[in-house]
Structure 1
């Protein structure tokens, strides 16, 4: 009897440790100058995924717990956030990221510590081109949208196009990608792009010349709030959208819940990329996520909600198949993923370059 009593505390301690939650780090922007709306949308999707996983018994019988850190949309803050999540919070993986320049800094930390990193909403090809084994991407990538944009411009038969891009890896990268594909697909198009400070409040000096020399299309490549400000000022100056000039947003801003509150009349007749539209086909899982999100918030889900959900869902599936939270085992399992997500079947390409560890067939429409 005495022996049994002596061993009882040790057995009890072992049970507590086995039941410890699996910690997933989530670095996102929740404060300016970052895109707070996108940060909150991604958070909603991630939280819904964690909730549904825990309803099913968690991962490997352990509760899933998300640990959030605010990046403020600043690269150094993002770098520090991931460092803290890995070294102090002891997360087993990262599912997050918004603003490509921030992701560029964060993936360096994940690479150094060999921690799996699933990118929620960073589009720059440069992130993929690093070729880091730890980094996987369920969001769309710049080259895919640039190619679609070039095809769209060619189809309209346009000859004079101006783009405005934010001064980040995402903005400049997408503007350059579009230039490359237009030279290939529609070499007769006179295309030029201007780089704007994403923290600026007044873009009038850059826009006024367009009133004298009107292009056939203006393209906007800026995250909120700068993207909203630019669209409003283009409208207020009578430049676009107008009878003479199309306005094309390739940052999928119209999907965000605060778009119409911030843009209003300036958003009418705007053409835009849609990574989710209510009429787009969803999987059975996607329909469930959409319904639960709508019931909880009283509004439609945006693509960032689905992206956040999918990032954690594919990560959880990899941990389950790996049978542990060992980093290398999870990375290997992620490479072998073939999982039905909210928007299709996720599998990661292994070809070096812009599609490395990328879900290539991300659905979209213009």
Structure 2
């Protein structure tokens, strides 16, 4: 967050649920959905607040009950071109959020889900997570829901921004009344969202947020199934040592993930006698020419390690390739967003020989649960294999649902207790949380292991053909998972 005044404005918006920031609508209006419309975009355009979209859903469905020419919105994240919907006035939206009208979804168990669906966040990552959440939701409700009631999943776009994530968590908890929250891709969002979860005593399971401090603060409400950044840095350094690297360039982002991840990687490399220099860019940077020229002006690196995330990483990787320092010129470890092979090749056509980090069981070790999810994910998205962040999103929601059922209640303390004692078999394997309230982290262990899934598999894989599908990559590290040798540029 760059401006404290902006932060204050966000907080003020949440304290006063009235929709603000746009010229008030004096009367509601009909609207026909256009290409690339999202309800959150329409809420921002007409009501001045992207998080006011539930009011559009509610009033459109009220209209549908009287006039079938209006759409019936069963999922606020899925609207179709040509649908006729109703945009309420700000007074009507205020009435909805103040509770003076009955809200959609009464009689359901409400769970919130965070993900980036707009820039500067990782749109490809958020889109994958959204598809995975929808698969999990369908399975949960087909199996009878939670506590005998259907689950209503309220998905919110965080844009990868801490302030937006904070506002989304406040809205989910204080206005939508969710009993738990799952998901999120960006650590910067997770770092602020966890504070809201803690302040409101609502359990949250983070899916793809790696920053150590997310669990190291040891909040009772906070759980994580993604790996911790410092452990990933250890694998990264071991890989670079195995290929004989002596000097490495780290390209990272100015975020709550990128800064500590670079520091941890630098430290692990130094322990192995590997020198490094780190370069920084903001999330969402489009033009990397200046930083690429600085890299080229320095010593030639044995490898470039990309800690940028999402589409920002694609921008750097392709521009580096065009400048002669891409994966076909020297060893480049691309961001794990490369797991979305369709998005990667569309954005990084010169990305062959890119090495990238994959989280989750190698395909030869997939469980029945992994295979079942992968089949549904392929049917839904057309992708041959699910990305790690899709598996994490799927598991986070299924895990929360199982915990609520085992708790027999939506009481937060009961859910937290259930999560601490849970054994869940999912797409990532068997998930447990060994350390927490009942079994504190030992004094000689890092506090990051609090409510942390300790066993996510981490492998290094490589594209070996242009246009190759992520399902067909070669596992090049570590030795116990290898399916082939690293191809050096």
- Quote the offset at 1:279 in angstroms: 2.9
Tell me whether 1:116 sits opposite 2:200 in the alignment.
no
Partner of 1:231: 317
Of 290-299 and 304-313, more deviation after overlay is shown by 290-299
* Structure 1 alignment gaps of length 5 or more: 1-18
Query: Of 150, 154, 163, which residue of structure 1 is paired with 2:237?
Result: 150
1:242 CA drift (Å)? 4.1
What is the total number of aligned residue pairs between the two structures?
A: 344
1:291 alignment counterpart: 375
Question: 2:125·2:337 contact (CA, 8 Å) conserved in 1?
Answer: no
Q: Is the 8 A contact 2:288 2:319 kept in 1?
A: yes
Q: Report the counterpart of residue 254 of structure 1 in structure 2.
A: 338
Q: Which residue of 2 aligns with 1:125?
A: 212
Q: Structure 2-normalised TM-score?
A: 0.68
> Is 2:319 aligned against 1:319?
no
Larger RCO (CA under 8 A, 6+ residues apart): 1
Aligned counterparts, 1:90-105, within 5 A: 90-105=177-192
Q: Quick check: 1:136–1:357 contact (8 Å CA) kept in 2?
A: yes
Match of residue 333 from structure 1: 418
Q: Distance in 2 between matches of 1:82 and 1:138?
A: 19
Matches within 5 A, 1:338-357: 338-350=423-435, 351=441, 353-357=447-451
Matched, 1:358 2:443: no
Residue by residue over 1:215-252, the C-alpha shift from the partner in whole angstroms, topping out at 9 and shown as x without a partner, is: 11110001122100000111010013245x21012x31
Confirm or deny: 8 A CA contact 2:361 2:456 kept in the other structure: no
Q: Normalising by structure 1, what TM-score?
A: 0.90
Deviation at 1:277, TM superposition (A): 7.7
Q: State the alpha-carbon separation in 2 of the partners of residues 133 and 307 from structure 1.
A: 21
Contact 2:185 2:389 in 1 (8 A): no
Report deviation, 1:280.
4.4
Instruction: Report the Cα offset of residue 341 of structure 1.
Output: 1.2
Distance 2:448 2:241 in 1: 23
- What residue in structure 2 maps to residue 214 of structure 1? 300
1:189 matched to 2:274? The reply is: yes
Compared with structure 1, are the counterparts of its residues 143 and 280 closer, same or farther at alpha carbon in structure 2 (3 Å cutoff)?
Answer: farther
**1 or 2, which has the higher helix percentage?**
1
